[in-house]
Homo-oligomer: A and B are copies of this chain.
Amino acid sequence: MSDRPRAAKETPLAIICGGGSLPLAVADAVTRRGRRVVMFPVRGFADPRDFADYPCHLIATGQFGRFRRLAVQEGCRDVVFIGVVLRPALRQIRLDWDTIRQLPRVFAMFRGGDNHLLSSLARIVEDLGFKLHGAHEVAPEILVPQGAIGRHAPGPRHEADIARGLAVLAAIGPFDVGQAVVVADSYVVAIEGAEGTDRMLERVAALRRDGRIPSAAGTGVLVKTPKRGQDRRFDLPSIGPQTVARAAEAGLAGIAVAGGATIIAEPQRVAAAADRVGLFVVGIAAAG
């Protein structure tokens, strides 16, 4: 982007990454923009073999010292955090010197919700001397646009479910809890908690199989927005072809996400997958 400072282009971008296809999509997008990237996959969440084309250093959760040393060696000053990194259990943390110095803060950050966890992490990274950026700032093409992706669009019945879903998400916004719900014919079927969107959709599929969702298959909408107060630099919600597949298995009519505030891995594949199964995927205006 023309208004991005030149300095940001001159040093390679450190990408701390978890699972899914997004990290590679971001790395490729940043590379296409002419900037080098260095990948830091987090052990247990991302597979270094996915990043064979890039310089790559495996790090463990909590290895702030190792990350700092390697990132400085590589000449990185800017950091992006992307991909699925589940809330690590404290026992998974590998302690190193920088982590031990941060220990009171590390413990504190595991109390409370994800927003709290992630903004604590952001502060630690910045205290180590780096600048944290949002993946959507370094690769804006990864954001869902406003409007329908693919051939299908929501009808009035779906719009009503979307409105109800947004109302539920607004109501639970203050509690730093999940950021997705499933609503089918006005019935709130599922609210996402710590399990994440994929498992929530599996649950909806099971409820559908058991006849516990009154409306017929092909009704219902997954509504997903950023949490209120969420640090968008590294925790925007994301969707991918997998989301479409799981929504289809759950018998939904479509997916509504916040346009301009949702990351989409492989948009063409998402559109193709949605068209194939007859789902709509729509970017909507959402306060977030």
Which single member of B194, B207, B213 contacts A187 (CB below 8 Å)?
A: B194
Interface contact B214-A90, CB-CB below 8 Å: yes
Chain copies in complex: 2
Interface contact B89-A188, CB-CB below 8 Å: no
Q: Which residues of B contact A103 (CB under 8 A)?
A: none
Cα–Cα distance between A175 and B189 once the two chains are bound (Å): 11
Interface contact A193-B188, CB-CB below 8 Å: yes
Which single member of B177, B194, B214 contacts A110 (CB below 8 Å)?
A: B214
Q: Which residues of B contact A178 (CB under 8 A)?
A: 191
Q: Give residues of chain A (156-186) contacting chain B, Cβ–Cβ below 8 Å.
A: 164, 167-168, 171-172, 174-178, 182, 185-186
Q: Which residues of B contact A89 (CB under 8 A)?
A: 211-214
Interface contact A172-B168, CB-CB below 8 Å: yes
Could you tell me how many residues of chain A have their Cβ less than 8 Å away from some Cβ of chain B?
Answer: 44
Question: Known: A211-B91, A211-B92. Is A175-B164 also a contact (CB below 8 A)?
Answer: yes
14 A-B pairs besides A168-B177, A175-B188 with CB distance below 8 A are A87-B213, A87-B214, A88-B211, A89-B211, A111-B186, A111-B215, A112-B186, A171-B175, A176-B188, A177-B188, A178-B191, A193-B203, A194-B213, A203-B203
Sorted nearest first, the 8 A-B pairs with minimum C-beta distance are A89-B211, A177-B188, A190-B193, A110-B214, A191-B191, A171-B171, A189-B194, A112-B186
- Pick 28 A–B contacts, CB within 8 A, sort by A: A87-B213, A89-B214, A91-B211, A92-B211, A110-B215, A111-B185, A111-B187, A111-B215, A113-B187, A164-B175, A168-B172, A171-B171, A171-B174, A171-B175, A172-B172, A172-B188, A172-B191, A176-B188, A178-B191, A188-B193, A190-B194, A191-B192, A194-B207, A194-B213, A195-B203, A195-B207, A195-B212, A199-B203
